[in-house]
Amino acid sequence: MTPGGDAGAGVRHTADTVTVTIDDREIEVAKGTGLVETAAEAGIEIPVFCYEPRLGPPVGACRMCLVEIEGLPKLQAGCTLTAQEGMVVRTAATSERAAHGQQGTLEFILVNHPLDCPVCDKGGECPLQDLTFRYGPGSTRMRFPKLTFDKPIPVSPLIALDRERCILCYRCTRFSSDVAEDGQLIARNRGAYSEIATFGEDPYRAPFSGNVIELCPVGALTSTQYRFEARPWEITDVPTVCGLCPAGCNIRATTREGAIKRVQSRNHPEVDGGWICDKGRFTFPAVRADDRVREPLARGELGLAPVSWDAALDRAEELLRGARGRIVTALSGSETTEIAYGLGVLVRRGLHAHSAVLHESTSSALDAFRTPLSTIGAAELVVVVGDDEILDRAPAVDLWIRRARRNGAEIITIGARGTMRTAPGGAAEALQELLASRSALGKRLRASEHAVLIWSGAGGGGGARLAEVADALGFAAKPGCGAFHLPATPNARGVAEAWAAAADEDEVEVEGIGLLVVSGDEAASDPAVRALAEKADAVLAITMFHSLVVGWADLVLPATAALEREGTSMNLEGRVQRLRRAVTPPVPDELAWLAKLAGRFDVALSPYPAVVFEQLSERLYGGLELGQLGEQAPLPARAPYIAPAPAHTDAQTAHLDAVEGHFVGTLRLLRYTPLFSGPEVERVAELQFQRPEREVALAAGDADRRGIATGDMVTLRSNGTSVELRARVDRKLVEGVARIAEEHAADLHLDVEVVRV
């Protein structure tokens, strides 16, 4: 096996070891270990440019890693070799020839590389700069005009390319073709004229494009957000966790003078494998949005107006008391566990108001099959259930699945766009049937030691249904098998559990809504929550952006962004991870004023996340300490399986609607929430090109019957309302469905009529 061929997470190492000699030092490593890694174990450096195991098998392109191998006439590219018993290796440190070859390579690389390091974003954190310093020629003997290009070329609104800095290591194109598999960034032409490009003037439009910036070993691919923003020696990196989806990729926020300048991946081999999506990477400028709520706003004669914090807290107390327990709390699922707990303590203990709404239900039943996301990459069989694209719910999981496929796994998707097509909401049932009817798939799932189930859609009791399946398949006893539910929100479970933990008495049913507490911008932009607001006497909103709530909130208290928070969050694996404050928010912490408010109702709440976590941890995480989370949070052991409450029938009913809708000639509206959407994404100009087209996807059959072709404008009607969209024939889509991004579906109802205009 070549190094990187299956490197990183999911590798099944053979126990036996080999001994190699590098620069006269004997090193014992596991068989199959790459020579570069082997040398590193002994503190010997084999310099590399193109070598990056996470991109797959080595290509041996740049020739920086040349070493001398005893018995071989030619110098060898160390990165392409694995440690063999008795191998004798000499690096540039002890081999004249290797040093000579390496100097050659560096001189060749520098032949066309401009000496503009002082104005290059990479300067100071540039592998080429470092290696040149250590191994390179003092001066260049190149006395010919270097290749020059117009600079920089916008590969996309997010990424700039300085071609003359490119050393053609092909890392970026390999990422595009072999990891993200988007095929957008390519090498064109041949030989000395080879260059990195996209097609014509098409931008590099793909969900993971930003990773090429980090992969580029020189300053050729740079972030348009970061260009000329900071120098490496002026910045501080804060290790934290992405708060935009339930995968919880580990990230590093680069800050300068109290402002976030960029977000980079911080490889957690079990969670993200060192890749992050463009939403996680490029959304941070939203914290500087124009409509950011910087002080409390209260409704007066002239609408919402700034008020002092004291006034704001008085008003809040007034609203809370006035509701006399008739309070409903709409949670976003993006709160930290501590904030959700604080809110719970305030309204549940202080005001005995227990009703809360969360976008989706959650369940702890899957903890019995808990396993790191990386096991997907090593799986041989992956079954995905649900109508939502994995990419839209938890992008990181999409990359793990692609990796599994590359390693030979079979991927079966059951859903409206699946390899097994089902009517919307019918996926769950289809799976049940599959397993009931001793199907081949059922047998294989039972037999396999490396199978994974993934629920990517609404319903299913937040994973409860999937847990029943996993249990029936005996996954609990198979460490290589796992089952994942992809929640719609980043911290759905943490929030739900914190809310539950905050209760200290039995719930009592209350009539009507005196006060609606809207926690977070996602809740504020959720149509269902808007509907509740209609019914409420008053609304207290806690949001980052005021334009979302101007019309209907009576009191707006400022919220902070994930990158501004201290606290914890539980990702879809059930892993508790630590958020660290990258920059100080322009407003006080939620916990700070929640604690003050709680005081007014004689309930104790600490304003400090660390203290709150301690209390929570007692009840939820068996006394886990914040310190134990460390830089790379561990995954708790599997919990015993507890059968969840019996299925409530959300899936089935949805399913029936679909069928019926099909008969009456109308199509079933299938809304989806695209990855690039939400209050924060909407506020980042350079991300807009990533958002979905204003279009409706139709199955080929449905399109034909209506004489609709891709590109036609169509009108969608459902009692009363109508929208006009561009049609796209989607060969993967099940018949009887009109698939539209949430933001374009307006308030269409379930059954829609689709006609060409």
Partner 1 sequence: MSTATEIVFGGTHGGALTELADYEAVGGMTALRRAREMTPNEIIEELNASNLRGRGGAFFPTGRKWSFVPTPEQNPRPHYLVVNADESEPGTFKDREILLRVPLRFLEGCLIAARAIQSQHVVVYIRGEYEREWEVLVSALEQMRKAKLLGDVTIVVHRGAGAYICGEETALLESLEGKRGQPRTKPPFPAIAGLYASPTAVNNVESIATVPPIIEMGGAEYAKLGRPDASTGTRVFSLSGNVAHPGNYELPHGFPLKDLIFEVGGGIPGGRTLKAVIPGGSSTAILTAAEAEKVTLDYDTLAAAGTAIGSAAVIAIDDRCCIVQLGVRISQFYEHESCGKCTPCRVGTRWTTQILKRIESGEGTHADLDLLIDVGEKVNGTCLCPLGDTAMIAIASYVAKFRDEFVAHVEEGGCPFHGTSSLEGILAPTDVHAAHVGPAEITRPLEVVA
Partner 2 sequence: MSSGTSLYDQIAELRARYPDPRSAILPALQLAQAEHGGWLPEEALRGVADAMDVTPAYCLSIASFYDMFHTEPVGRHVVEVCTNVSCALSGAQGVVEAFERELGIHAGETTGDGNVTLRTVECLGGCGWATVVALNNRHRLHVRAGDVYGIVKELGE
Distance CA 253, CA 351 (A): 38
Among 111, 235, 626, 750, which residue interacts with partner 1 (rule: CB under 8 A)? Answer: 111
Residue 498's closest CA among 653, 605, 627, 597? 605
- Considering the complex, state which of residue 62 and residue 416 has its C-beta at the smaller distance from partner 1: 62
Min. distance of Cβ 172 from partner 1 in angstroms? 15
Q: Considering just the CA atoms, what is the radius of gyration of the chain in Å? A: 28
Per rule CB under 6 A, is residue 391 in the interface with ligand FES? no
Q: Please pick, from the candidates 22, 77, 126, 496, the single residue that binds ligand FES as defined by CB under 6 A.
A: 77
Residues 109-148, one symbol each (x = binds ligand SF4 by CB under 6 A, - = not), give ----------------------------------------
Report if residue 404 touches ligand SF4, rule: CB under 6 A.
Answer: no
Smallest gap, in angstroms, from Cβ of residue 292 to ligand FES?
A: 45
Candidate residues 183, 306, 512, 623; the one interacting with partner 2 per rule CB under 8 A:
183
Exposed e or buried b per residue across 481-497, where buried means at least 16 C-beta atoms within 10 angstroms of its C-beta: bbbbbbbbbbbbbbbbb
| Cβ-contact 72, 30 below 8 angstroms | no
CA-based torsion, 224, 230, 231, 233: positive or negative: negative
Nearer to partner 1, 190 or 731 (CB): 190
Cβ 441 to ligand FES shortest distance, Å: 42
Find which of partner 2, ligand SF4, partner 1, none residue 509 binds, CB within 5 to 8 Å per kind: none
Question: Rounded to the nearest whole angstrom, what is the least distance from the CB of residue 559 to partner 2 in the complex?
Answer: 40
**Interface segment toward partner 2; rule CB under 8 A; list 182-190, 323-331, 383-391, 474-482:** 182-190
Which listed residue (27, 35, 39, 50) binds ligand FES by CB under 6 A? 50
Asked if residue 170 binds ligand SF4 (CB under 6 A), the reply is yes
Count of chain residues binding ligand FES (CB under 6 A) = 12
Q: Of 75, 221, 293, 323, which lies in the binding site for ligand SF4, with binding defined by CB under 6 A?
A: 221
Q: How many Cβ atoms sit within 10 Å of the Cβ of residue 324?
A: 13
Which CB sits closer to partner 2, 149 or 653? 149
- For ligand FES, which residue of 51, 499, 621, 676 counts as binding (CB under 6 A)? 51
Report how far Cα 188 is from the mean position of its chain's Cα atoms: 31
What angle do helix axes 464-472 and 427-436 make, rounded to 10 degrees?
10
Q: Binding partner of residue 220 among ligand SF4, partner 2, partner 1, none, CB under 5 to 8 Å per kind?
A: ligand SF4
Which residue in 7, 18, 22, 59 binds partner 1 (CB under 8 A)?
59
> CB neighbours of 469 closer than 8 A, spacing ≥ 6?
431, 432, 435, 453, 483
Half-sphere exposure of 273 (CA within 13 A, CB side): 32
- Between residues 403 and 668, which has the closer beta carbon with respect to partner 1? 403
Query: Cα separation of 443 and 314, whole Å?
Result: 63
In this structure, the number of other CB atoms found within 10 A of the CB of residue 338 comes to: 30
DSSP of 133-179: HHHS-SS----SPPP---S-EEEETTEEE-GGG-----HHHHIIIII
Q: Does 648 bind partner 1 (CB under 8 A)?
A: no
Residue with tokens 């590093």: 252
112: tokens are 């066309």
What's CA 734's distance to the chain center, in Å? 27
Q: What are phi and psi of 47, to 5 degrees?
A: -65, 145
Q: How far apart are CA 299 and CA 311, in angstroms?
A: 12
Residue 167 binds to ligand SF4 (criterion: CB under 6 A): yes
Is residue 503 at the binding interface for partner 1, with CB under 8 A as the rule? no
Q: Report the residue count for the chain.
A: 757
Q: Does 666 bind partner 1 (CB under 8 A)?
A: no
Chosen residue from 11, 186, 503, 639 binding partner 2 by CB under 8 A: 186
Q: Which residues bind ligand FES (CB under 6 A)?
A: 48-51, 60-65, 77, 79
- Contacting residues toward ligand SF4, per CB under 6 A: 166-172, 196, 215-218, 220-221
User: Which spans of this chain sit near partner 1 (rule: CB under 8 A)?
Assistant: 58-64, 66, 74-75, 77, 80, 100-101, 103-105, 107-109, 111-112, 141-142, 144, 147-150, 153, 163, 167-168, 170, 187-194, 197, 200-201
